[in-house]
Every structure is written in C-alpha cells, then in structure tokens.
Amino acid sequence: MTRLVVLGSGSKGNALAIEHGGETLLVDVGFSAREIRRRAAAAAVSLDRVAGIALTHEHGDHTAGVALLARELGVPVYCSRGTWERLRPRLGGAEHRPLTMTTVVEAGPFRIESAEISHDAAEPVALAVTTARASVGVAYDLGRPTAAVRYLLRSRTALVLEANHDDVLLRTSGYPPVVQQRIAGAGGHLSNRVAAELLAELVHAELAVVVLAHLSERCNTEAHARDAVAPALAAAGFTGTLHVARQGDPTGPFALSLSETAELPLG
Ligand SMILES: [Zn+2]
Ligand SMILES: [Zn+2]
C-alpha cells in the first residue's frame, strides 16, 4: 500500500508526502520545518524514515523548509541542477541528487522521474513518483501543459495537478493587467479550464485519485475548481475520487493500490 498526503497547497506553501514500505518521500517543503513537522503529525505521516526531499523548483512556497529539514533529517535533496544552483547558498552541506529529464532516480522504495515545465524559475520540473503499488504525478506552477508534462503524467494512479485560477475571477481580481498576464502567461499558472482539459486527456482505468492544488486565494475557490474539473473528468469516464487541496491543513491520506491486473508504467 502506498499513501499520499497533501500537507498543504497554495501560494503560501506547498508540500506533500508519499509513504511506502515504512519510508516517506517529501515532495516540496514550502512551509517552515516546524510547520511541516506539525502537519505531518496531524496527518499521521511518519518522518522517522525519510528517503529524501524532492523539489519541483526553488520558489519559497515550495522550499521554505528545505535547508533545516534536510539537515535535521539528514536526507538528500532531489532536484534539477538549476534548482540546486539557486538553493545551494542556503543549503550548506546538504547532499544533492540531480534529477534529469532522461533518468529515473531511486530514493529508497521510490523511483522519481521529472519533466521540464514552463514556469518563471531556474529549471522547474513536474515530478512522478512510482512505488511497487502506485504512481503519483505532481505538476503545479506551470504556465502551459507541454508534451513532456503530458507524457510524464500519463498512466499514473494519482495526480496532484494545479488548478490555480478561474479565468473570470482573475479578470475581476483587481490585479493590474501586467500581473494578470504573468499569472495566465506561459511562465505562470494553470487555470481551472486548462487543468480540466488536461485531466480529461489523462483519465484511464487505474487513475484513482485526482487532487487539485495550488489554488489562488484571490482568483479561485474550491467550488470554482470543482465545477470546472468534475464534469470534464466525468465525461472522460473517470471513476476515481476528486479532491481539492487546501492551504491551511492537510488533505488525505489517500490509500493507493493497483488492481491485480494493472501494470505500472516503467518509466
Ligand atoms: Zn513557482
Ligand atoms: Zn508555487
């Protein structure tokens, strides 16, 4: 059994945990180390045996706790070279395990793959984490779903995907046009509408859990995100469960386990 817990998601911090075989992989740690520990305890996520910390990119809402946690837990940091270069000044002696687009990197019982994403950061990536029982795709802070991201996210058993803003709420948000353009632009964030289109493409028989993430507090609501995505998933034949991650507290745990006949993508 593999468990997924989204510890929190939004512009003020993003973190999730994947547990398998008594080990935990943290994916993004965009809260303070203390807050990550508090949320992990609240969601019954063990940090006793952490295989590593995987990062999507260097922005503070994804890395706020990484320096202290990597040191306290004594674990390597899995991220692209570009992300590492940006973080290195504050990571001290932490160990870097590079993620590249062409390799599958092992971290304990977890296999990590990555794909370049379109976002205003050094070398940002979407991630896919595979265990013996499940496969979780994580993609947020992406302006556009590229072919590489579509390929990475296909055939997963769970998807954590950005549904950042509602197009109308963004237009009426009071943000200056230049800010609106940045949010909706190629280096910005995925709208509910584009997330719905992408998810409809990604539906397959073994997709059990979809979690919408990184919702804008000002330009989105849980209801807007659900209303945009749920009909598209239903029309595509989705039989799993749809959830919306919150900024303030954890979502899950989600127990992931393949059906007897299913085969995992092997990278
Ligand atoms: Zn970002
Ligand atoms: Zn972010």
Residue-wise pLDDT tens digits, 213-244: 999 999 999 999 999 999 999 999 999 999 99
- Residues in CB range of 147: below 8 A, 6 or more apart: none
Which of 111-125, 138-152, 247-261 is least confident?
A: 247-261
- Ion ligand 1: residues, CB within 5 A, are 59, 141
Quickly tell me which residue has 């943290």 as its tokens: 26
Task: State the distance from the centre of ligand 1 to the C-alpha of 165, rounded, in angstroms.
Answer: 14
Q: Which of 104, 125, 139, 130 is nearest to 211 (CA)?
A: 139
Indicate which ligand has the atom closest to the C-alpha of 9.
Answer: 2
Indicate which ligand has the atom closest to the C-alpha of 121.
Answer: 1
User: What pLDDT, on a 0 to 100 scale, did the predictor assign at position 267?
Assistant: 41
Q: What is the mean pLDDT of residues 35-39?
A: 98
User: What pLDDT, on a 0 to 100 scale, did the predictor assign at position 259?
Assistant: 65
Report d(CA 27, CA 15) in Å as an integer. Answer: 6
Quickly tell me which residue has 């994403």 as its tokens: 117
Report d(CA 30, CA 9) in Å as an integer. Answer: 9
Q: What is the pLDDT of residues 166-224, one digit of tens each?
A: 999 999 999 999 999 999 998 999 999 999 999 999 999 999 999 999 999 999 999 99
Task: State the distance from the centre of ligand 2 to the C-alpha of 263, rounded, in angstroms.
Answer: 32
Task: State the distance from the centre of ligand 1 to the C-alpha of 240, rounded, in angstroms.
Answer: 28
Task: State the distance from the centre of ligand 2 to the C-alpha of 261, rounded, in angstroms.
Answer: 36
Q: Which of 161, 172, 160 is nearest to 220 (CA)?
A: 172
Task: State the distance from the centre of ligand 2 to the C-alpha of 82, rounded, in angstroms.
Answer: 16
Report d(CA 28, CA 33) in Å as an integer. Answer: 12
Q: Which of 145, 191, 194 is nearest to 169 (CA)?
A: 191
Indicate which ligand has the atom closest to the C-alpha of 125.
Answer: 1
- Residues in CB range of 243: below 8 A, 6 or more apart: 209, 210, 211, 212, 251, 252, 254
Indicate which ligand has the atom closest to the C-alpha of 83.
Answer: 1
Report d(CA 253, CA 238) in Å as an integer. Answer: 20
Indicate which ligand has the atom closest to the C-alpha of 28.
Answer: 2
Report d(CA 21, CA 109) in Å as an integer. Answer: 7
Number of Cβ atoms within 10 Å of the Cβ of 70: 25
As to burial, measured by CB atoms within 10 angstroms (0-12 exposed, 13-18 middle, 19+ buried), residue 263 is exposed
The CATH code that applies to domain 2-248 is 3.60.15.10
Q: What does residue 115 show for φ and ψ, rounded to 5 degrees?
A: -140, 140
Report d(CA 90, CA 47) in Å as an integer. Answer: 22
Residue 185's alpha-carbon distances to 108, 179, 222, in angstroms, are: 37, 10, 22
Task: State the distance from the centre of ligand 1 to the C-alpha of 258, rounded, in angstroms.
Answer: 32
Report d(CA 18, CA 27) in Å as an integer. Answer: 8
Instruction: Using CA atoms of 245, 64, 103, 188 in order, give the dihedral in degrees to the nearest 10.
Output: 60
The structural domains of the chain, with segments of one domain joined by +, span 2-248
> Does the pLDDT of residue 101 top 50, yes or no?
yes
